[in-house]
Structure 1
Amino acid sequence: MNTKRALDVVITGLAALIWVPVLLVAGLAVLVFTGRPVLYRSMRRVSNDEVLRIVKFRTMVKNAEALVNRTTVPIENEVRFLNISPDSPLYTRVGRLLERCGLTEIPQLMHVLRGQMSIVGNRPLPENVVAALRAEYPTADDRFLTKSGLTGPAQLVGRAELTDLERLTLEGAYCRACVQRYSIWLDLSILLATVMIVIGFKRAYTYQGVLDMIDRRTRSRRPTLVRVIAEADDAMATEAI
Structure 2
Amino acid sequence: MTRNSLRTKSYAPLVAPLQESFGIRCLDVIGASLGLILTLPLLLVLALLIKLDSPGPIIYRQRRTGRDRRTTTRDRRRAQRASARERRRQEYYGRTFFIYKFRTMRHNAERRTGPVWTMPDDPRITKVGRWLRRFHLDELPQFANVLQGEMSLVGPRPERPEIIARLVQELPEYCLRLLVKPGMTGLAQICQGYDNSIADVKRKIHLDLFFATHFSTRLYIRILFLTLVKIFSATPVLEAEFVMPELNASTRQHKEQAHEKQ
TM-score range, shorter chain: 0.7 to 0.9
**1:154 equivalent in alignment to 2:188:** yes
**1:24 equivalent in alignment to 2:44:** yes
Of the three residues 179, 185, 188, the one matched with 2:218 is 185
Tell me, yes or no, if the aligned pair for 1:142 and 1:176 is still in contact at 8 Å. Answer: no
Identity %: 32
Which residue does the alignment assign to 2:90? Answer: none
* Unaligned 5+ runs, structure 1: 74-81, 217-241
TM-score normalised over the length of structure 1: 0.74
**1:47 equivalent in alignment to 2:92:** no
Of the three residues 79, 87, 105, the one matched with 2:121 is 87
* Unaligned 5+ runs, structure 2: 1-19, 69-93, 251-262
Q: Aligned equivalents of 2:141 and 2:245: distance in 1?
A: 29
Worse-superposed segment, 110-119 or 17-26: 17-26
Tell me, yes or no, if the aligned pair for 2:191 and 2:239 is still in contact at 8 Å. Answer: yes
Letter in 2 for 1:195: L
Distance 1:213 1:6, change over 3 A: farther
How far 1:108 moved relative to its partner? 0.9
Distance 1:57 1:201, change over 3 A: closer
Deviation by residue 1:92-127 (Cα, 9 ceiling, x = unmatched): 111111112221111111011111111111111111
**1:172 equivalent in alignment to 2:209:** yes
Q: Aligned equivalents of 2:147 and 2:136: distance in 1?
A: 19
Letter in 2 for 1:120: V
Tell me, yes or no, if the aligned pair for 2:100 and 2:144 is still in contact at 8 Å. Answer: no
How far 1:193 moved relative to its partner? 0.9
Deviation by residue 1:5-51 (Cα, 9 ceiling, x = unmatched): 11101212233332222222211211122232111211110211311
Aligned residues: 201
Which residue does the alignment assign to 1:200? Answer: 233
SS at match of 1:22: helix
**1:110 equivalent in alignment to 2:147:** no
Which residue does the alignment assign to 2:85? Answer: none
Structure with the bigger RCO (C-alpha within 8 Å, sep 6+) is 2
Tell me, yes or no, if the aligned pair for 2:155 and 2:186 is still in contact at 8 Å. Answer: yes
Which protein shows a greater Rg? 2
Q: Aligned equivalents of 2:178 and 2:228: distance in 1?
A: 23
Worse-superposed segment, 192-201 or 88-97: 192-201
Q: Aligned equivalents of 2:168 and 2:226: distance in 1?
A: 29
**1:61 equivalent in alignment to 2:97:** no
Letter in 1 for 2:239: T
